Structure 1
Amino acid sequence: MTDTPGFYEHLTFNAPLSEARADALAARVAAAGPSTVLDVGCGWGELLIRVAAQAPGARALGVDTEERHLTRGRARARELDVSTRVTFENLSGDQLSEPADVVICIGSSHAFGDSPAEALAALKPLVRPGGRLVLGEGTWEVRGPGDPDLVWDDVVALPSVAALVDLAVEAGFRPLWIETANEDELFAFESGYLADLEEWLLHHDDADVRARADEHRRRWLHGYRNAFGFAYLTLGVPGHS
């Protein structure tokens, strides 16, 4: 047991994404026969690696600014024997200019500004005509006025699923597939995030870490649980002018 809590050790993906959905999504974009795949804000690149595994002719690049994530991604690529085709670099989104056949951006739109609209505008030049963008984005569905349980102390401006799709169309994409994380995926994501803290607290008496875990759980279960969601859009860029 280390002296600090784990670092995303209990999550396969840094998003509310099940194994089944990830594999189906990877197969869907791999079926288009991409030769290049780019993951912006890739974390440890689990989805990127799965796309590359299902598209054996593709070369893939994951970029992120957290070196611990990149180290994990490189190890995972070696484990699945795709490290000759999947590379990871410490880069930010605004350093990219070379377009790819498939671009992935899951929970990383903040790399391009304060809104999904800004992210979509910045991502479009990175997708080759006829290519695909896989966008994973938080959403907010308001249930009704005056709901006492609908509380998120530092709420950010998130669109509904419908508004997010509208933004994508306005940016010049075509929505090829629209799906949202289900309750099991959302619970697994929050529980997996908290597991690093909770497992560590079984062996350490640390008031700061305990308060951090309790506050996150409070905000989740008593606050945003029934309004926050996560959408996965598979978007196409028309190949005609």
Structure 2
Amino acid sequence: MTTPPRHTRLSFHGPLSEARADQLVTRLAGNTPTTVLDIGCGWGELMLRILTATPKATGTGIDLNAEDLARGRQAAEARGLADRVRFLEESATGTPHGPADLVLCVGASQALGDQLPQALAELRRLVSDHGRVLLGEGFWQRTPTPAELSRMWPDAAVTDHPGLATLVDLTVEAGFRPEWTETASLDEWEEFESGYLADTEVWLARHPDHPLAEETRQRADRHRAAWLTYRGILGLAYLTLVPVAAR
């Protein structure tokens, strides 16, 4: 049975442009990490690019999505990185795969705890004392109205995300200093969200009477309505964090 292809238009599972990815890789590889840990890695594209830029490093990616992990393994094999990276299908809760010189947690802090302070404490545990954390975390660019929240994800609430200033303050309270603070642009968001749905939209146009079409159409329409609501309201910060040395 023909089903919609999944995420073939996306290099990264998030609003991340090629230009920003190149800058992140250069900055993070400049610290010459020897171990990289990717929490909620998906197919691990950013991790693989960092491993390419740091030939002595090894990587571990953790995720629960077997299909994404398989894509990551295939990419690693194609790039000659298969002997330097592991893609593990397991929970990140209480993970023993640390400390690492570089910890990536992009759009995946929920894998480390229900509340952001708990997740940040886990990131501090998982990074080596002279390492770095790249945290990709949502924040409100402005406070959404109740009507806007009702059109986002199920049970969306103002408390789901902090503002940017509060987010950075929370990282400091958790034992980090922010080496670099940057945020996804509207162009990056639009490229990601359009790419996220593009395969599905084309499939629906070509298979309107498919047995899976109605369910797929409803899911796509809900997602599009949500992102067009949080467009310009929900931001994503990319924070490069340095752990504070113990006194």
**TM-score, with normalisation over the residues of structure 1?**
0.92
Of residues 175, 178, 196, the one that matches 1:175 is: 178
| Amino acid across the alignment from 2:82 | S
| Matched residue, 2:161 | 158
CA distance in 2, matches of 1:37, 1:132: 10
CA distance in 1, matches of 2:151, 2:178: 30
Any idea what the Cα deviations from partners look like across 1:31-55, whole Å, max 9, x if unmatched? 1111111101100000000111111
Structure 2 unaligned regions, length at least 5: none
Cα RMSD, aligned residues only: 1.8
Deviation at 1:215, TM superposition (A): 2.2
Structure 1 unaligned regions, length at least 5: none
| Matched residue, 1:118 | 118
| Matched residue, 1:209 | 216
Matches within 5 A, 1:60-209: 60-97=59-96, 98-142=98-142, 152-153=151-152, 154=154, 155-156=156-157, 157-205=160-208, 206-209=213-216
- Verify the 8 A CA contact 1:151 1:224 in the aligned structure 2: no
Q: The residue matched to 2:194 in structure 1 has which SS? A: helix
- Verify the 8 A CA contact 2:186 2:232 in the aligned structure 1: no
- Verify the 8 A CA contact 2:109 2:116 in the aligned structure 1: yes
Shift of the 118–147 alpha-carbon distance from structure 1 to 2, 3 Å rule, reads: closer
| Matched residue, 1:27 | 26
CA distance in 1, matches of 2:64, 2:227: 27
Runs of 4+ aligned residues of structure 1 deviating over 4 Å after TM superposition are 146-151
CA distance in 1, matches of 2:111, 2:222: 26
Any idea what the Cα deviations from partners look like across 1:74-127, whole Å, max 9, x if unmatched? 111112222221221112112422210000001111112222212101111100
Shift of the 84–159 alpha-carbon distance from structure 1 to 2, 3 Å rule, reads: same
| Amino acid across the alignment from 2:18 | E
CA distance in 1, matches of 2:22, 2:138: 20
User: Taking every aligned residue pair, what percent have the same amino acid on both sides?
Assistant: 47
